Structure 1
């Protein structure tokens, strides 16, 4: 008799947990990027009343007689399928059009100088060293914001992570020779503070240093070219102009930066005496492409590549820990994050670069970024209400088991009167 009471109690407890999960799903039916959960039950241990016997010469075999001792919650599973898109037409809103991929955000200080960044193994697509005081989280909520300094943030202030863009900006021409400089959009100080001469080439974008993440204007000295004036540099944290139409445009896939969309970018330019200077060019507008590259339209009509949103996937996304505020963190069963490669295009006659960067490019396996939209919750309200009815009826049935057992015990106690 006591077994039925215990079974009823376990049923109440299990169905209460199911109702808790259903209630949470319904409460988050309008939460951006929310993934619904479901409860799976398993029967509890059983008490053996009579053991099984095998067939003999005179008698057939008999089955074991067991009485179950209730139910328990076996697992709470997460449905990681993508939700529908809600078009907002807001240029800071982003959604990922594929399940299992996540934006990367961090709590901590800004990361502009490569020495302060999160290190990435571009071949294995894994994270290495993370700066002290920095914690990385993952989210499907792309409702990003800007602060007064232009830093790209989540709604509660977490910093959005991504790659810096690199390109070879043409500086000036001297006869048939064109001079250019390797420039990085977000980097440590660039310019005369570290290197003082420019590179000359008869072909724009000769890639003598294409495989490295260059953060200074570099090159060989030329008698026809003046060195950079002492004032011609771009400070760490300032966003430098990188031409989005550059055939050498690529992301620095070895460092994760905190992204910034400034009110103006710093651009190298040359005067009539071929001296190179830096000027501020106002940002009129910006957009985020399907590959996550942020492009800004400038007041002089040029388009700058500012950075690229980072993206990560997991071997078991259902194993991620829910940290609240639409953030997820890794767990022992989620696996380590697998990062999407930074933007890069194959470059003709650059075998070493293509072999090291292009051959390791895994971006084709990731979803596209939908700018001006947010992912809605994947909660199916019709299913949740149906499950709620089933769970509530099961709860009532288990309570009936307890009251029936109580009535039976009361009758048994009354026999001694």
Structure 2
């Protein structure tokens, strides 16, 4: 009875983790560039009560007899498939169509993101909503505000151009860089829509958009979260029922133990 009770406890623990991940996915259904999580289970070690036997000339073989001891987490994956594009018609909003991540910097560390809601600060530096610099081919991307630029455009290859009073053609001021990873699923979430490399993601390979397998940059769009609410609610029902079923294992085992105790009165 204790064995089944502890198996039920392992199931409760794992389904609680699954519900935590689902809750985080639903909370970020409208977060630009968010990548949903997924929980995968695997079984624990099985106790062998009788080993398998090989067949001989007079008798066939027998299969092993094993009792499982519960379940455990196999992985909590981050699903990096692209989300839908949302039209914003704002020139500084950018989405990556294809593979890759925007590179941003706080001056010390680089971070990687699919959220391309960019802004110009008071000095003309292209930054994220929390002030991190968008990394270009020459470092910061700076618009010469003192020269009175009248129009800013971002091309599919990441080239940021401005029209200056009197220069009749746009002037390029930088090119937004895109990073790729050998294993995006190995990236570590660090909050704020940002990822950083881990020991299993591989190091970033940074370069221009539309080159070496990197996606194109689409100005006037934002990438939406890749969370599918219908899928999340279905998984929530499955997790809830799994939690209930495992709780029944515990209560049933408890009732049987109570009957055993009551045998002697």
TM value normalised by structure 1:
0.62
- Taking only aligned residues, the RMSD between alpha carbons, in angstroms, comes to 1.2
Post-superposition, which runs of at least 4 consecutive aligned residues in structure 1 deviate over 2 A? 56-59
Q: 1:261 aligns with which of 143, 147, 151?
A: 143
Structure 1 residue 282 displacement after superposition: 2.3
Structure 1 residue 55 displacement after superposition: 1.2
Partner of 2:152: 286
- Tell me, in whole angstroms, the C-alpha distance in 2 between the residues paired with 1:52 and 1:9: 29
Deviations 1:13-43 (A, max 9, x none): 1111111111111110000001111111101
Partner of 1:316: 183
Structure 1 residue 89 displacement after superposition: 1.1
Please state whether the residue corresponding to 1:156 is helix, strand or coil.
coil
Deviations 1:325-357 (A, max 9, x none): 000000010001111248xxxxxxxxxxxxxxx
Q: Are 1:153 and 2:119 counterparts?
A: no
- Tell me, in whole angstroms, the C-alpha distance in 2 between the residues paired with 1:262 and 1:140: 26
Partner of 1:203: none
Preserved CA contact (<8 Å) 2:41 2:74: yes
Structure 1 residue 261 displacement after superposition: 1.8
Structure 1 residue 302 displacement after superposition: 3.5
Q: Where do 1:177-256 residues align within 5 Å?
A: none
Structure 1 residue 364 displacement after superposition: 4.8
Q: Where do 1:331-342 residues align within 5 Å?
A: 331-341=198-208
Q: Where do 1:138-149 residues align within 5 Å?
A: 138-149=112-123
- Tell me, in whole angstroms, the C-alpha distance in 2 between the residues paired with 1:73 and 1:57: 44
Q: 2:163 aligns with which of 282, 286, 297?
A: 297
For structure 1, the 5+ residue unaligned runs are 109-133, 165-256, 265-280, 343-361
Instruction: Name whichever structure is richer in helix by fraction.
Output: 2
Structure 1 residue 374 displacement after superposition: 0.5
- Tell me, in whole angstroms, the C-alpha distance in 2 between the residues paired with 1:58 and 1:304: 89
For structure 2, the 5+ residue unaligned runs are none
- Tell me, in whole angstroms, the C-alpha distance in 1 between the residues paired with 2:85 and 2:57: 70
Aligned length: 264
**If you compute each CA radius of gyration, which structure gives the higher value, 1 or 2?**
1
Deviations 1:283-308 (A, max 9, x none): 11111001000010111134211100
Please state whether the residue corresponding to 2:148 is helix, strand or coil.
strand
Please state whether the residue corresponding to 1:405 is helix, strand or coil.
helix
Partner of 1:135: 109
Structure 1 residue 311 displacement after superposition: 0.6
Please state whether the residue corresponding to 1:41 is helix, strand or coil.
strand
Preserved CA contact (<8 Å) 2:159 2:175: yes
Structure 1 residue 262 displacement after superposition: 2.7
Partner of 1:45: 45
Structure 1 residue 49 displacement after superposition: 0.6
The answer to which structure, 1 or 2, has the higher relative contact order (CA under 8 A, 6+ apart) is 2
Please state whether the residue corresponding to 2:56 is helix, strand or coil.
coil
